[in-house]
Structure 1
Amino acid sequence: MGSVVFREQVRRPEPSGLSRDRLARPLLDATGPGGVLLLAPAGSGKTTLLAQIAGTPGMPTAWYRARPEDRSEDALVRHVTEALAVVLPEALDATTADQLILATETGVPTPVRLIVDDVHELAGSPAEQALERFLEYRPRHLRLLLGSRRPLSLNTPRLIVSGELLVLDGDDLRFRSWEVEELFRSVYREPLSPEAAAALTRRTGGWAAGLQLFHLATMGKSSAERIRAATELGGRSRMVRAYLTRNVLAELDPERREFLLITSTLGRLTGPLCDALLDRTGSAAVLEELETLQFFTTSTDDGSTYRYHQVLQTHLEGLLIDELGTAASREIHARSARLLEDAGHPREAMRAYALGDDWASVARLLQVGGATAVGQDWVARSELPDDDPWLALARARRYFRSGSVAAAVEAYRHAESMLDDPDFQARCADERALAEIWSAHPQPFGRAATPVRRTAQAIRQATRRVPSTREGAGGALEDGTIELLAGRFVNARELFSPLAADPTGRPVGRLCARLGLVVTELVDGNWSEAEVPLEEIALSAELEELPWFARLARGLQAAVLLATRPEGWRLDGCASLAEDCRRDGDQWGSLLMAIFIGAARLRAGQDEEAADWLRRATVEAARLEARTPQAWASALAAVALARIRHAGAAEQLKEAEGLTRSAALTGAYRLLDHARQLAETGPSRSGRSVRLFTLGGFRLELDGKPVSWPSLRPRARSLLLLLAINHDRDVHRERLIDALWPDAPADAGTHRLQVAASTVRQCLAGLGFGDQVVQRNGDAYRLVLPGAWVDLAEFETRLQRARRSGSVTDWSAVLEIAAGELLPEVGAADWVLAERDRYRLAAADAAVQVAGLARDAQALRAAQRAVELDPFRDSSWLLLAELQEGQGDPTAAALTRREHARVCAELEVTPEVRPARDGSRVRA
């Protein structure tokens, strides 16, 4: 006899939590793999995500949560059949996996999802073997979603390669900082600033359970109390400790538990280090096993070194003191520190010495390691001893790395006065000179003593005035940064790309290059793809203990989200980041945040707000004697004011022109020309409205009236349409030539493109749009209608909003704007087909959502629209027939099913045949 089937095991839980589109999208994709495995530690949010998928309309979903008692094949089959009975018209009759496969081939006529949660309870049992067989041979329209804490015996590599299985692990499920911010604002109703959300993400590692426990522990508390709680949450929180003890450590035998407890003092885990600390062998195999079991243990270098999850690490450190006492804990940390020091890991050694209260050894390592071994959070804490010159030097370095330049300069002077040693004083003076380069009023630069100072001086000078040419005058970091400041973005990208990809380079150089590459992408209009790389840059900067770079990446990420997801509360978050910079004495961070926010508001069409932030940036840049960023901010402000025909637009433009000349910033002249054209002839957001339509046919409206087009040659018109569906984004020359002149030689194609672009530009200028609407940037072209409402951009905005909210109102708004297919007048031109299908299928998804959420006539119209948009989606036909029957029209339902059968017959192909395990041949 198998285990009892409790109804609670097959009851689908109610959806809750934050809906994360990046995770839900691949799980809801009907064309994706038929099997999905969520493989992550306890508390990672697997059940929450699966419950959200189960609650998504459009496909019936069965639910089964496994228990340890379900480890026989018979028990598994009975639970699966019971779960499927909830969503199928007739119950399935099966007692073995093979019988279940055969029963589902005939008894599951429509697409169905089956979710099996807590599959790790079946690991190593006949039930797991039966589940593997069922996954492999079930009918393809039965999608199987699995949630597990530990790897299964499935042949996952083969299933992944064959396209039959998608695996999402703990890193995929980890909350990103912007998701944490949205979670606390939209779900918990307890807003966090972007900086606080980033700190909480860092301390919890984005662990879903940790975030939930933080929320429960801080409900109703003040903002200051919640920030203190975030600091405590790392592992000393009572709730976190109880969760880890019951759900993580309780699974371990005493030997494994002791291994974790003692080796946590290392921080950096390798087999030899753990063996030496424990006076044993075999630690490498234990670490590998812990990672394989998803036991809060990760490796970023393919198994050479490991680290425990931040929350578990801190919990183990506290547990060590509780169980062994303070004296024993200090002794173990001292042994770990000596092993780490001997192995050549000074940062980890310093941390172990500090946790063992051996500050003399910390100071000694700082003296030996110099600038290569600083930056730890604990170095800047106020409770550190303040009578050691080396610790004072470490504190100064921390100020500098945090962007507090003035405080760093004073701290360097203080450290220099504490020790009458020429070498120490020279080191302090040299590092102080580097910090002073970035002060508000730097002294005239002489010949720099070190390459680092020479690079810093060259970049600082470029913030005052751009050198005319570089031609490899400095290194890639120096030249790339100066090219970026100068507005020569193609050159900057070429210099930054190899530097960003070089794993042997200095961390600061790699981070600068990666950040610079993101900026060049934003200049090209690729804002929607920037949030993920910025998150990765921020995390890398935190790992390398470079807090200013982390703050800068977080700030730019917040600005990108402000432009692409323009909820009102995001501006407050960005403003708080700028205020944090000012409070901490980070003048450069404050300046750059003002530029980021101004550019984001300009991107979103909020021109008055953009001008306010950009003018604030010009004031801050003037204080720093940074004329180059001042000129950029002033030129962007000129565009914003010209776009709304502001009374001060002419004066702003004049100021921007003067700053641009003074900074020798030729790269900004295109912006100035654009602002001048807007002020003279171009449409403005306040005076004239511009609307660009491409869904349902190309149309341009000016003040609500369609623009009458003069005759254009076919290729010139095609160029206009191709640029229109990529509005405000660069389209590379090669792509345009391949699309419009595929048979032309390279030189001829380039010439024809230039002629066509000139023709389109003149045409738009003649219609009153100015001569800067078709812009060229290196080898790329783009169409820019300042302040225009663009139907494709509006479609994307509404689609993102609907995916986050899931409301019928927002899904209906998506459907409203989908007036027809993309550019139907160009027929089956290759360059439009992929985008046309993407928008059509997205509209079909919206129609299915409305049909599942709405009532009566609205639901029926939406289902009919879904069938029209995507006649090859079975679920749309079935949903339409169900709605027709539910509204008392069985005749219409029968006609729908007949039409569906006809479509299926037209698409019918020879059934796939594959070998069974016994050697016979069976139909898929």
Structure 2
Amino acid sequence: MLGRLGGVETHGLAVVVAPVGYGKTTLLGQWSAARPGTVRWCTPLALPDADALIRDCGGPGALSGVVIDDVADDQVRRPRGRLVRLIEQLAPTVPVILAARRMPAFNLARHEFPHPVVVTARDLAFRTWEITGLFADVYGDALGAEEALTIAERTDGWAASLRLWHLARRLRERDEEEDRDAEPGAFGGLLHGYLDREVLSALGAGSRRLLARSAAFDCVSAQRLDLLLGRQDCHHTLTRIARKVSLVDASASSSDGPHYRYHVALRRNLRSELVHELGVDGTRHLFARAAEVAEELGDLGEAGAARCRANDAPGLAALIERHGPSRVTSNPGTLDLVTTALSRQHPAIALARADLLLHEGRAHEARREVSQAAQLVARPEVTAEVVRRATSGQIPVTLEPGSPGAEALRLLAQQGPRHAKQALTRGAGGADEPGGLMAELALAALDVLVDPASGLTELERVDDHLRTHGLRWLRRLAHAVARCCTAEPQRCAEVLRLAAARERLGDRWGAALIESSVALALLRHGRPDADLLERLCERFRLLGAPALEAWARSALALASAQDDVPDSDVATSAVAFAQAGGAPGPLAVAYAALALSKPDLRAELLTLAQATAREGGLTCRPWTWSRDPAPAVRDAHRSRPVTAGGASSGRSAIRPHAAPGAFDAVDASARAALPAAPPAHPAAGPWGGLALRCFGTFAVTARDGAGSLAGVRPIALTVLRMLAVQAGSPVHRDVIVEAQWPELREQPALHNLHVSVSNLRRGLETLVPGHSRELLARQGQAYVLAPGEEAVTDLQRFDRLLAEASRCRRAGERTGQGQALRAALGLYAGEVLPGDGAAEWVVTVREHYRLLAAGAAAQLAQLELSREHSAAAVAAAQRSVQIDPWRDSSWRTLIAAHAQAGEPAESERAKQEYAAVLASLGISTMPLGPAHAAPVAAQPRAVTGQRVSRVRTA
């Protein structure tokens, strides 16, 4: 909002005019705080001397602005008054801002004044997406999109009423908690009190009564009110009321004089007063009379709304049958008035309600209303047209074939924004109708999503028109675009929940377009969602929208190429589909995707993409939106070998971890001073302190606790676990495919892998923003988790701790050896990934680490025994035999440790337990051997002197 006042620097004068409670003072306070010098605040009754203010403009802390608050008409009525002279003298030198509840009466166009910047109540009102942000960021009270739309409709974004709504939510009774979209019960009382104090206190009793009765209409005129009340003097009373009540707008006029529109919050409050004064029956009688007046004057939308408020089903049905449902239900908000209780009384009302529900995208409910109408009338032909539209899932007017909105959307999808804008100018350009507004919204949304830095000005303008016409379905799309245009994960998830809710209501078009806004935002910010794009391909195919399906296919191809998918089938298919549909925009993107997938033809295909884009009027270049990693990281990734561990087949891309005898060969860069206990997270680095736990369970956390993998598919998490046990080393795609999709042919299996990797990267992006592609990188035909030297898994840290223990043992550093062994055993919280059961890719790894942990405990027990730390030796030996009951050396050390501790009974019991283990193996005598044997190597005996591959390779 501060941006709207930016022009005051150039123009020198701004006027902020809005009724009470719109936040004028708050806005000007923020503007003052952002100024580099001093801002002088004053009122028209206490104006400073202009010459003195001008003298203050030099030096440190100089005057940088003047705010004149609470400007009233009677204070500036004389053109040459002090305020006018002050503006004339200051405005060329110092920015001056006036704040008023109504536009000041003096001539702002006079030549002595600079051209003013004007900020109105409409500018200050909160949009639906701003309401969501206000409640979440300021009030700490998260809203769903539907509730934000409801609040916007019932408060018109008025800051004061938004605050009251929040307070009412805080006061909400527990039995109301389930219906989060309903108006809080306390809101009406809080609003009534505020309006009484701040808005209506200047009115006399007679004016107050007339004002309440005038609320029988949505749009008030003196003629209507005279006919309603049987008077001839309402014009004068309404004029006085409009001067005193800032929430009454008299700007509109027609042949019968000025038309007064009341703020929605004021109108709702006045109608509540009517019920309190006249009772329910008296109020309904007043609304019925208002319906007669409106019909007599030809305002059928007003008449229909009044019949609904009168709960007059026969009168409403007769009105519909005389004039048709579209004219009778044309007023904004009529759907809320045509209740199910009314629709059950007459088939004409049921069919009208069904049509309104279709406008709102609630196809399932529309079908139920059609069924209700069919039960009330024995003429099936009456319902045929509504049945057709209800079962097709189309939205009437805005998207039905031939409408301006559908035509502009088709051109936008087929050929790009330039041709769509030309069609809009020729046909529905600026048309104040749903179809034209749909086209304008599509273009404004595309501008915001493609270039978020351009701001929301055009989208806000279109949203103002949608609000005026009560087009909630289109406002919901505008809300979705504004919320997700920055591609913030939390906001995108919020918008996707909105799409899912629309799908449940049968609003297939709404769900598809809302999801499309998220998909485009993510693609624009270099984080394409392949799953979402694939779902959109299917959605648009089922909706019979081939041009939009072509866009989804091309975007999917581009996303696959940017996600390092090593084949070009998706791009080739997208090219063929776009060519068949004659859609140059999607075709250009598909060519670019193919260029990324075919490096040998990259230059030629990119040239073709550019030429096709120019031909189709596509001004943006989506293939330039990809976010490349930093050169150093990228080059490091490319320099790593595709295979490791001496594998030459190109299929075994799994590096075997060092066997116990090879601890000494660990790279010196991994050797560091080790604490007595392992850290909860690895040191912060490119991965932001990410930690993956594989011992005992699987868990992924970031240092700051941010992010979540909750939205990642189970199969993608399995791929992550498979890569985690090989972190730092490439795993060939064939190995993953064979382990996860052995029953599928190569291409479907690879497609599943690519989708899983894309899904996984999106989840990792929430944990390591901006680094998900570096964290999960592709190297040739292999994938690697966390390439480089940084340890991100407990398996990696376990290996490095054992390597450090080996180094300390060779150097004679017994204290360091003990610390390293204890730290390693602290990491071993159980078997590796027990939740994956007997999967072949994990069984070998699991056994490998079980034997390493048992060997480490045995080493620690021997070390403590040699240092005569009997209790520590007992604990370590017990841990060893718990992990590996068949480790003879650990049993012997346990027996000796108990003996050294002077515990003959425990020593004897350990002998008996050892004997039982031997007996289970068919060995009848206990092998004899020295208690203090040579240190036991922490290695699996079956593979002594060999390297252990943790995953079966081909």
The one-letter code sitting in structure 1 at the alignment partner of 2:200 is L
The correspondence for 2:479, drawn from 541, 554, 561, is: 554
Q: 2:237 & 2:316 partners in 1: Cα distance? A: 30
Native 8 Å contact 1:36 1:146 kept in 2:
yes
User: For the Cα contact (< 8 Å) 1:515–1:534, is it kept in 2?
Assistant: yes
> Do structure 1's residue 617 and structure 2's residue 455 form an aligned pair?
no
1:237 is displaced (CA, Å) by: 1.6
Matched, 1:577 2:526: no
Q: 1:776-803 CA distances to partner (integer Å, 9 max, x unpaired)?
A: 2457866763425799xxxxxxxxxxxx
| Mapped partners of 1:103, 1:168: distance in 2 | 28
Q: How does 1:868-879 map to 2 (within 5 A)?
A: none
Match of 1:429 among 379, 384, 388: 384
Q: 1:103 to 1:551 in 2, by over 3 A?
A: closer
Tell me by how many angstroms 1:622 deviates.
4.0
Does 2:319 correspond to 1:365? yes
Q: Are residue 496 (structure 1) and residue 335 (structure 2) matched? A: no
Assess if the C-alpha contact under 8 Å between 2:72 and 2:100 holds in 1: yes
CA contact (8 A) 1:23 1:173 kept: no
Checking the alignment, whether the CA contact within 8 Å between 1:111 and 1:141 is kept in structure 2 is: no
Q: In 2, distance between residues paired with 1:227 and 1:25?
A: 44
Confirm or deny: 8 A CA contact 1:113 1:144 kept in the other structure: yes
Pairwise CA distance, 1:361: 0.9
Alpha-carbon contact 2:14-2:97 (below 8 Å) kept: yes
Give 1:785's aligned residue: 624
Residues in 1 aligned to 2:235 and 2:122: alpha-carbon distance in whole angstroms: 22
1:104-119 alignment, distance < 5 Å = 104-109=53-58, 110-119=62-71
**Structure 1 residues 489, 134: closer, same or farther in 2, change over 3 A?**
closer
In 2: Cα distance, 1:668 partner to 1:587 partner: 22
Q: Which amino acid aligns with 1:495?
A: A
For the pair 1:134 / 2:86, whether they are aligned, the reply is yes
CA distance in 2, matches of 1:294, 1:332: 23
**Largest Rg, 1 or 2:** 2
**Letter of the structure 2 residue corresponding to residue 593 of structure 1:** I
Kindly state the Cα deviation for residue 198 of structure 1 after the two structures are TM-superposed: 2.6
The answer to whether residue 375 in structure 2 is matched with residue 396 in structure 1 is no
- Gaps (5+ residues) in structure 2? 631-954
1:487 corresponds to 2:415: yes
Greater displacement, 585-594 / 385-394: 385-394
- Paired with 1:781 and 1:403, the residues of 2 have a C-alpha distance of 32
Count of residue pairs the alignment pairs up: 618
Among 344, 355, 361, which residue is 2:309 paired with?
Answer: 355
The answer on 1:595 being equivalent to 2:512 is no
The more displaced of 55-64 and 408-417 is: 408-417
How far the C-alpha of 1:49 sits from its partner, in A, is 0.8
For 1:510, the equivalent position in structure 2 comes to 436
Q: CA deviation at 1:676?
A: 0.4
Compute the displacement of 1:357 (Å).
2.2
Q: Which residue is equivalent to 2:614?
A: 776
Q: Which amino acid aligns with 1:308?
A: Y
Pairwise CA RMSD of aligned residues?
A: 3.8
Shift of 1:539: 4.6
Matched-pair contact (CA < 8 Å) for 2:171–2:186: no
SS of equivalent to 1:232: coil
Output the CA distance in 2 between the equivalents of 1:789 and 1:602: 13
Question: In the alignment, does 2:283 pair up with 1:325?
Answer: no
**CA–CA distance in 1 between the matches of 2:186 and 2:253?**
27
Displacement of 1:478 after TM fit?
5.9
Q: TM-score, with normalisation over the residues of structure 1?
A: 0.60
**CA distance, structure 2, for counterparts of residue 406 and residue 321 of structure 1:** 34
1:618-633 alignment to 2 at 5 Å? 618-633=537-552
Native 8 Å contact 1:214 1:230 kept in 2: no
Counterpart position of 1:415 = 373
Residue equivalent to 1:744: none
Distance 2:192 2:166 in 1: 15
Contact 2:523 2:559 in 1 (8 A): yes
Q: Which amino acid aligns with 1:405?
A: A
Does residue 534 in structure 1 map to residue 534 in structure 2? no
Equivalences for residues 201-212 of structure 1 within 5 A: 201-212=152-163
Whether 1:30 and 2:9 are equivalent positions in the alignment is yes
In structure 2, give the amino acid aligned to 1:776: R
Q: CA deviation at 1:164?
A: 5.0
User: How far off its partner does 1:180 sit?
Assistant: 1.5
8 Å contact kept, 2:91–2:114: no
Which residue of 170, 190, 197 maps to 1:239? 190
Task: Say if 1:477 and 1:495, in contact at 8 Å, map to a contact too.
Answer: no
SS at match of 2:385: helix
Q: Secondary structure at the match of 1:185?
A: helix
For 1:283 and 1:790, the matched residues in 2 are separated by 71
Which amino acid in structure 2 is aligned with residue 674 of structure 1?
A
| Distance of 1:351 and 1:414 partners within structure 2 | 22
Q: Which amino acid aligns with 1:327?
A: D
- Tell me if the contact between 1:631 and 1:659 (Cα under 8 Å) persists in the aligned partners: yes
Q: Quick one: which amino acid aligns to residue 587 of structure 1?
A: R
Alpha-carbon displacement from aligned partner over 1:644-669 (angstroms, at most 9, x marks no partner): 3135x534324434544665545422
Residues 223-281 of structure 1 show CA distances to partners (whole Å, capped at 9, x for unaligned) of 99579576436996211110001100102233332231111111121231122223333
Question: Would you say the 8 A contact 1:185–1:191 is kept in 2?
Answer: yes
Q: 1:641 to 1:359 in 2, by over 3 A?
A: same
SS at match of 1:305: strand
Q: Quick one: which amino acid aligns to residue 563 of structure 2?
A: I
Deviation at 1:674, TM superposition (A): 0.7
SS state at 2:551 partner: helix
CA displacement 1:18-69 (0-9 Å, x = unmatched): xx3434434xx53332x332221110111111111222241211233x5xxx
Q: Is the 8 A contact 1:434 1:456 kept in 2?
A: no
How much has 1:394 moved relative to structure 2?
Answer: 2.2
Distance 1:55 1:239 in 2: 31
- Which residue of structure 1 lines up, in the alignment, with residue 710 of structure 2? none
Aligned to 2:820: none
TM-score (norm 2): 0.59
- Conserved 8 A contact 1:218-1:226: no
How many angstroms apart in 1 are the aligned matches of 2:184 and 2:127?
A: 17
Q: Which residue of 2 aligns with 1:297?
A: 248
Give the structure 2 partner of residue 448 of structure 1. none
State the secondary structure of the residue aligned to 1:157: coil
SS of 2:614's equivalent? Answer: strand
Query: Is the 2:417–2:618 Cα contact (8 Å) retained in structure 1?
Result: no
Contact 1:151 1:293 in 2 (8 A): no
Change (3 A) 1:395 1:260: same
Compared CA separation, residues 353 and 582, structure 1 to 2 (3 A): same
Q: Which has the higher contact order (CA 8 A, sep 6+)?
A: 1
- Taking structure 1 as reference, are residues 495 and 166 closer, same or farther at Cα in structure 2, changes over 3 Å only? closer
Instruction: Return the match for 1:101 from 44, 50, 69.
Output: 50
Distance between the aligned counterparts of 1:510 and 1:136, measured in 2? Answer: 44
Q: Deviations over 1:375-413 (max 9, x none)?
A: 612345344462321222122112211223344345324
Measured after TM superposition, the shift of residue 601 of structure 1 is 0.5
- Counterpart mapping for 1:38-53 below 5 A: 38-53=16-31
Name the aligned partner's letter for residue 330 of structure 1.
R
Cα deviations by residue, 1:874-907 (Å, 9 ceiling, x for unpaired): xxxxxxxxxxxxxxxxxxxxxxxxxxxxxxxxxx
In the TM superposition, what is the alpha-carbon distance from 1:536 to its structure 2 partner? 4.0
Change (3 A) 1:128 1:332: farther
SS at match of 1:146: strand
